[in-house]
Amino acid sequence: MDERSPILIFDSGVGGLTIHDALRRVLPDAPVIYGADLAGLPYGAKSEAEIAARVAGLLGRMAERYQPRLACIACNTASTIALGMVRDVLEIPIVGTVPAIKPAAAQSKTGVIGLIGTQATIRQRYVDDLEARFAVGKTLLRVAAPDLVAAAEAKLRGQAVEGAAIERAADELAQMPDGQRIDTLVLACTHFPLLADELAAVFGDGVALVDGAEGIARRIASLLEGQPMRRTGADRFVVTGPVDAAKGLENALERRGFSSPEIF
């Protein structure tokens, strides 16, 4: 294994940077290429067939071009729909990101768990299966909060975050049966931890926010244990579509050790 072989982190936008940040804490010397499908953003409003075809096609081409040692689909929507297909196509380890229902169920005291994600994520059978496996005897309340994706993208570009979308999601959950007893909130989109401060302000101290970034990072580290790794310079950040779509991200990327955005 070439010590310069990168880890490929793929997302529809910048949400996967939450996975990147967690990964840096456990693998500080790992070279990374981040692929942002900005031309396809947002995924949550697309059909399952569109998402599966797009993700499998892009990851196949990125794997061929960049020769990564591992790819992480840092997007809950893409993972719940296309993870199996991508694993069938690529001959490298593939790590997906799925809603953190298991740890949320383990720590909930009231047994009532909220989950916010994209429209596509919350309707997936994959999420039903996670609930059936890990939240037996618990109540899982799901709400689509697609506007939070745009809010997170805006925040990382230094723009103001409108709180109305978060308040709508909180109100919708609160109005569901047992919604007032929610004590744990699953952030079922990698974009959403970027809004942790705003979410905490609306949901309050009595609701714990749970996402899967740290667990995903540990999983990647375990799969790559013992492999030589060496960063020889800035990591690469590649985007689909015009590079201008990444305008405003320069400071956030520089802080994380990425070079200027480039076109895939």
* Domains identified in the chain and CATH numbers: 7-97+214-263 (3.40.50.1860), 101-211 (3.40.50.1860)
pLDDT of 162:
84
The residue written with tokens 């899982």 in the block is 140
pLDDT per residue as tens digits for the range 183-224:
999 999 999 999 999 999 999 999 999 999 999 999 999 999
Catalytic site includes residue 72: no
pLDDT of 1:
83
Which of the following is catalytic: 7, 22, 30, 75? Answer: 75
pLDDT of 164:
95
Q: What is the pTM of this model?
A: 0.96
Distance, CA of 110 to CA of 67 (rounded, Å): 46
Which of the following is catalytic: 27, 70, 189, 245? Answer: 189
Regions in the chain scoring below 70 on pLDDT = none
Catalytic site includes residue 75: yes
Cβ(53)–Cβ(75) under 8 Å? no
pLDDT of 186:
98
**DSSP collapsed to 3 states, the chain:** CCCCCCEEEEECCCCCHHHHHHHHHHCCCCCEEEEECCCCCCCCCCCHHHHHHHHHHHHHHHHHHHCCCEEEECCHHHHHHHHHHHHHHCCCCEEECCCCHHHHHHHCCCCEEEEEECHHHHCCHHHHHHHHHHCCCCEEEEEECCHHHHHHHHHHCCCCCCCHHHHHHHHHHHCCCCHHHCCEEEECCCCHHHHHHHHHHHHCCCCEEECCHHHHHHHHHHHCCCCCCCCCCCEEEEECCCHHHHCCCHHHHHHCCECCCEEC
Least Cα distance to 97 among 118, 113, 69 occurs for 118
Least Cα distance to 14 among 254, 258, 251, 246 occurs for 246
